[in-house]
Structure 1
Amino acid sequence: MSHFNEIPTESDSLTLVAAPDTGQRTDIAADVHIGLTAARKWLPCLYFYDEAGSLLFEQICDLPEYYPTRTERAILEEHADKLVAHVGHPVDLVELGSGSASKTRLVVEALLRRHGQLRFIPVDISRSILEESSLALVEDYSDLEVLAVAGEYHDGLDFLKGESGPPRLILWLGSNVGNFVRADAIHFLQRLRGAMRPGDQLLAGIDLRKDPATLLAAYDDAAGVTAAFNKNILRRINHELGGHFELDHFRHEARWNETEGRIEMHLVSVAAQSVLIDDLDLIVTFDDGESIHTENSYKYSLHEIETLAAAAGFTADSQWFDEAHRFSVNLWQPETAC
């Protein structure tokens, strides 16, 4: 933890640390330049998640069309006690991309019922949401200690490598694995396995393949919240890089790519236009109907989940589903914790 900066908090039960500013950290200027000068324009979905974007995503999770949060929560509500029975004691609970930690509370409560005390280590890119959710947790659970890490995934892995203590149950919920191209998902999971110690376990929520109509509705809601979330990446470019994007000159579009097994999110230019980005000294031209590809959400069959785990060096311990088999929660063990 010596390389992370400790930040004062309002509770003795909460320690908040922030990742150092190093050359490994993402560079929005470089990434935007690369993506918007490519033959097929794209932007990394990482940049959805400033404070405004994180709040919009929390709203998405409550939408009636957005089944992943509801179904994953239902699985955890039904099976949390069975799940923690597979976990040894003592144990630390870790979560990558914790957000509001609303679903995580179900696992926290199950572990507290079983063991009485617990340390929770959430990792999230949004420091404000991380601090808010962590304070709420220590206020609600007197036997819970929280060590919160503000940073990106790679910061979380660096922290896990340097942190000593008991075995850890690492949560990676919300089908965040689906935001990675399949080969990159394997690579990230291999890196995660490399940060794990003997006795550590991974609990991964993974969305399943299903009919395209259900998928498209989940990523293009009637209230337009997902559209606002998608356009937030343009708002960030305007705010942080001196961009001149007119948000209403782009429309949100969700597409199902059957060949790749993924939902794609695009921002489609509604007219031929040119956009100046001051800090990049760049003018980006768009044809009418040309899109910026902003996110993928890969869906998995049961066989693809097995293949993913094996390729990344994990073995399956247990697997749980909602009643309609729309979503899966998977408990994996590393074959060799490095």
Structure 2
Amino acid sequence: MNSNFKKDINDGLSSPIKTLSSKYFYDTAGDALFVKIMNLPEYYLTKAEFDIFKNQTQNIIKSLNIEPDTFFELVELGAGDGTKTKELLKVLISENYNFKYLPVDISNNALDKLKANLNTELPTLKVSKKQGDYFDVLDSLKASNHPKVVLFLGSNIGNMEDEQAKLFISKLSNSLNISDNVLLGVDLIKSKDIVLPAYNDKSGVTKAFNLNLLNRINNELDADFNIDAFSHQPEYTEKEGIARSFIVSNKEQEVRIGALDKVFKFKKDEKIHTEISRKYNDTILNTILENSQLKKVTKLLDSKSYFADYILIKS
């Protein structure tokens, strides 16, 4: 049993305002559901960033200022299934760049699938996978003095509150050497009619993805959540620029978690906060970067200007 999982579930459900961390969405079932989400018509984020990686690959490489004959490490935090990154990897390989790819993910299952897939599609690629939490893995980056390019795509930084994002960027900056680069993907602030459906699709996949976290607690911590007694509720306002997801209790109820030997009480309509997805503009990003040594080099937009990939350099 994952002791961190057990502790975090206990802490989150014991709080006056209940929370469950989105990083625990990703078990085997959660991984599969998120792949489905990325292919939903409503979920524009993956398509928009893929647009950038597919059609502006040379712009990315030029902005990163890397040389074919200088070895570097390409580190991807939260690699997932690597769909977008493969567009970059293919070009780097075809143009004989000297590098190693280090995908990082909290899900061992996702990493194993990605490595197997890469071994088939890109057999000459040097891959070294790393399983763990972003913050833990950042510490290990310091052990290598090779030049680095760090990919943090999919607006994963948007899953952090602003203060946490500042801390993350500061720690990332401190883990890198001068002239190392970061490619940071962020979702841009847009109207509610575009953003909210991405977290509330008509087919109910996102709902299943969120509620699967309760299944995971049932399976791994011997709990008795009745999934049908909870609903999925996303919220978003353009003014705030943050999409929030909640699991909501449909009735007054009690849930026992055997591994904790505790019973948790839920009021009718009580919310469990599971996820935020911060949307960005230049002003917000500048605030996030202000206490780091990372500086903006360029900004690449998809064809609809829904999404941005910023190239940052440590200086």
TM-score range, shorter chain: over 0.9
The C-alpha deviation readout for 1:83-135, integer Å capped at 9, x for no partner, is: 11233222221100101111100111222233344311101111122122112
For residues 108 and 276 of structure 1, what CA distance do their matches in structure 2 show?
47
Structure 2 gap segments, 5+ residues each: none
The C-alpha deviation readout for 1:281-331, integer Å capped at 9, x for no partner, is: 221111111111111111112221233223333110011111221110000
SS of 1:145's partner is coil
Contact 2:296 2:311 in 1 (8 A): yes
1:320 matched to 2:297? The reply is: no
1:76 matched to 2:53? The reply is: yes
Which residue of the other structure, out of 137, 154, 175, is the alignment partner of 2:135?
154
For residues 143 and 103 of structure 2, what CA distance do their matches in structure 1 show?
15
Q: Tell me which residue corresponds to 1:297.
A: 277
Deviation at 1:35, TM superposition (A): 1.2
1:61 matched to 2:38? The reply is: yes
Deviation at 1:259, TM superposition (A): 5.7
For residues 128 and 79 of structure 2, what CA distance do their matches in structure 1 show?
12
Contact 2:105 2:131 in 1 (8 A): yes
Q: TM-score w.r.t. structure 1 length? A: 0.88
1:230 matched to 2:210? The reply is: yes
SS of 1:192's partner is helix
Q: TM-score w.r.t. structure 2 length? A: 0.94
Structure 2: which amino acid aligns with 1:190?
S
Q: Tell me which residue corresponds to 2:12.
A: 35
Structure 2: which amino acid aligns with 1:57?
F
Q: Tell me which residue corresponds to 2:158.
A: 178
For residues 157 and 44 of structure 2, what CA distance do their matches in structure 1 show?
16
For residues 191 and 165 of structure 2, what CA distance do their matches in structure 1 show?
23
Q: Tell me which residue corresponds to 2:242.
A: 262
For residues 110 and 309 of structure 1, what CA distance do their matches in structure 2 show?
29
> How many residue pairs get matched?
311
SS of 2:95's partner is helix
1:131 matched to 2:108? The reply is: no
Q: Tell me which residue corresponds to 1:101.
A: 82
Contact 1:53 1:229 in 2 (8 A): yes
SS of 1:328's partner is strand
Contact 1:43 1:292 in 2 (8 A): yes
Q: Tell me which residue corresponds to 1:215.
A: 195
C-alpha spacing 1:41/1:68, structure 2 compared with 1 (3 Å): same
SS of 1:144's partner is coil
Deviation at 1:140, TM superposition (A): 2.0
The C-alpha deviation readout for 1:137-167, integer Å capped at 9, x for no partner, is: 13222431111112221232122112343x1
Contact 2:13 2:264 in 1 (8 A): yes
For residues 3 and 279 of structure 2, what CA distance do their matches in structure 1 show?
26
Deviation at 1:258, TM superposition (A): 5.0
Structure 2: which amino acid aligns with 1:132?
K
The C-alpha deviation readout for 1:191-212, integer Å capped at 9, x for no partner, is: 1111112231000100000001
For residues 109 and 266 of structure 2, what CA distance do their matches in structure 1 show?
35
Structure 2: which amino acid aligns with 1:216?
L
C-alpha spacing 1:152/1:70, structure 2 compared with 1 (3 Å): same
Q: What is the CA RMSD across the aligned residues, in angstroms?
A: 1.7
SS of 1:115's partner is coil
SS of 2:297's partner is strand
For residues 121 and 250 of structure 2, what CA distance do their matches in structure 1 show?
48
SS of 1:285's partner is strand
Structure 2: which amino acid aligns with 1:88?
I
Which residue of the other structure, out of 194, 213, 221, is the alignment partner of 1:241?
221
Deviation at 1:82, TM superposition (A): 1.5
Percentage identity across paired residues of the two chains:
34
C-alpha spacing 1:117/1:135, structure 2 compared with 1 (3 Å): farther
Structure 2: which amino acid aligns with 1:106?
E
For residues 232 and 265 of structure 1, what CA distance do their matches in structure 2 show?
14
Q: Tell me which residue corresponds to 1:110.
A: 91
